[in-house]
Copies of this chain bind each other. A is one copy, B any other.
Amino acid sequence: MVRVDGVFDAERVAVVGATEREGSVGRAITRNLLEDFAGEIVPVNPNIDRVFDRPCRDSLAGTDADLAVVVVPPEAALEAVETAGEEGIESLVVVTAGFGETGSEGARREAKLEELAAEYDLGIVGPNSLGVISTPSGLNATFAPDNARPGTMSFMSQSGALVTAILEWAADRGIGFKDIVSLGNKAVLDEADFVETWGGDPDTDVVLGYLESIEDGRRFIEAARDVTEGTPVVVLKSGRTDAGAKAASSHTGAIAGSEAAYEAGLRKAGAIRVDSTEALFDTGAMLAGGSVPSADGVAVVTNAGGPGVIATDAIGDSNAELASLAEETRERLADALPATANVHNPVDVIGDAPAGRFHDALEVVLSDPAVGSAVVIACPSAVLSFDRLAETLAAFRRRESIPLAACLMGGAAVEGAAETLAETDTPTYFDPTRAVRGIDALYRYREVRDRKERSPTQFDVDTDTARSILGRVERRSDNRLGIEAMELLDAYGIPTVDGEIVDSPDAALAAAERLGGDVVMKIVSPDILHKTDIGGVEVGVDPADVEGTYESIVTRARNYQPDARIYGVQIQDRIDLEEGVETIVGTNRDPQFGPVVLFGLGGVFVEVFEDTTVRIAPVSEPEAAAMIDEIESAPLLRGARGRPPVREDAIVETIGRISQLVTDFPAIVELDINPLVATPDGVAAVDLRLTVDPEKL
């Protein structure tokens, strides 16, 4: 942790590769550092005596710096890092490229860099980084042509070019930052380190990140979960679509995790995910204000009906809701506004409203307990001064903590107003839909901040039995187990449909008689994957036909694949599907985030509707309950068309037990219970498939 703080809090910065050579990166960085930095700059370059009138040192040795910025070629950079380690300079920014992003020689260098960092306990940004900025001390250790204005957003970016672009763009808009870091190859310090650091930084109101990959999903979740209780974290994660993911991996060499796991991981971390550069900053600017709505409703106050309707549509699409104003509020508005004004939300103060009328309407509206935030929309008119309106809004912001978004629908005339509003951390937008997107972020963050965390339930399970069942896979070449491993679920307390595996027609009949009524019969063979396709499943077999059916199922299987190993036939109770709903509970392992648990509508609908949702294990009870809420077909479980509702608590428990199973046994690569039939009485697993890595048992 100390290692990251050192990057931004440095007081004496050495520049390894400082130079005046025109057009060089070293010159750009040295100049940027000399421009505004409140601390000391120590140029290091053994080939020259002075840089910009300052004496040059030959090496980092004896510089007594607390941060070294390295811009020399790769091998020299490695030497500099080693010297830094020896000298006790714990923080470095390695701007030099030619490491992991460039083939095997570069990968070797990056490994060496990691070794040095571990040996000397160094905090290294990069390599292949554009650099870092920290506005309180005026530190600009980048080679970007623009510097940042002071502000309360801290921004990390896995693309250096994006930092350059954002700096130039923000400069024109008066958008400020606390710290900025170009993450580069993330050989040592990664997104989790910066989230953690900024979470503890009182000067950072919101953390923004552009990420193409997450190095260690579990560590990121751990770090961000704590941070997001007090500081919002907004992430633009690219490589979202198949095409995007391919583009991302070809250009950074990062292995992109699967999209569903990223979605689940960012959710668990409490990060607010956005999908464009503008959304990142629209959202960031609103959250930088630091106020969170205390009520659900958004008020819209406008001098023009049309944009008010557009904003209302956007609120309808958002996580917020249009505030329903109290009768008393509407009466007070009617008193305060002209007769033709609309006193319902969106409140229309009419086109001839001066700033004072906005003030009067807001005074009333903001006192309504249903109103937690407001979007103020102003179109240009002869009687409205944007500057006066901005002063009015700024005064409200100074007096109350209620968040406001200003939608000033003008051109150059709004610039002064935007400046005034920026001083009270009130963002300004042109487009009503974007203003609402800003407000929406507040509600998204409020949900994260207020979420109820619960530790996952620890169930009493029989791990020894489970281990021995998983061990059976060692006798299989394909590492798979099927319905013959249903006792695995028994060992973890997951109800299975009653049944047994038999190896003769006699035994089949005995089993059917024990179960009573019609039964389901399925071939049990590790070599037959799609049992139904080869006639290996019979549903609703009358006990009288059980012996004959046994013979025909086995015959069909042998005809289909003469060398198949046949373990017998499973005889199962037949579940009445008129009363039940087929669901799926499954799990697999993501390279970045580890085990994930999936729940959704089962049977044929898994493929057709893909109505499923994913969480990172371990899954707590509230998380499992949210999974049920989230699937589109939840009404099917809750008594659609007069059917009795199923026992959701049994589904929640099953999700929790599967989460525990996959956490207990890293050997489980993937596992599907499909269907898990949910009924008004509980759940029962009907079929099972899993893949096990015997090396990890």
A→B interface (CB under 8 Å): 23, 28, 102, 144-146, 157-162, 164-165, 168-173, 210, 212, 236, 238-244, 246-248, 250-252, 275-279, 303-310, 312-317, 321-322, 340, 342, 344, 346, 348, 351, 379-383, 409-413, 430-434, 532-533, 604, 607-609, 632-633, 635-636, 640-642
Contact = CB atoms under 8 A, between A and B. Distances in A.
A641 B532 CA distance: 10
A210 B430 contact: no
Contacts of A609: 609, 632-633
A309 B247 contact: yes
Contacts of A641: 604, 607
B309 A604 contact: no
B604 A640 contact: yes
A138 to B, nearest CB: 21
A251 B409 CA distance: 19
Contact of A306 (B159, B309, B348): B159
Nearest to A304: B161
A108 B687 CA distance: 72
Contact of A23 (B212, B303, B382): B382
Number of copies: 2
B309 A340 contact: no
A615 to B, nearest CB: 23
Task: Identify which of A171, A244, A380, A609 gathers the most chain B CB atoms within 10 Å of its CB.
Answer: A244
A668 to B, nearest CB: 26
A574 to B, nearest CB: 16
A390 to B, nearest CB: 16
A239 B169 contact: no
A165 B303 CA distance: 12
Contact of A316 (B144, B159, B240): B240
Contacts of A608: 632-633, 635-636, 640
Given A431-B277, A608-B635, A632-B609, A247 B165 contact: no
A162 B306 contact: yes
Contact of A247 (B238, B303, B346): B346
A681 to B, nearest CB: 21
30 contacts: A23-B383, A144-B380, A157-B306, A159-B305, A159-B307, A161-B306, A165-B379, A165-B409, A168-B380, A169-B411, A172-B412, A210-B306, A236-B310, A238-B306, A238-B309, A238-B312, A241-B313, A243-B313, A246-B312, A248-B309, A248-B312, A276-B431, A277-B310, A277-B430, A277-B431, A277-B433, A604-B640, A604-B641, A607-B640, A609-B632
A434 B169 CA distance: 15
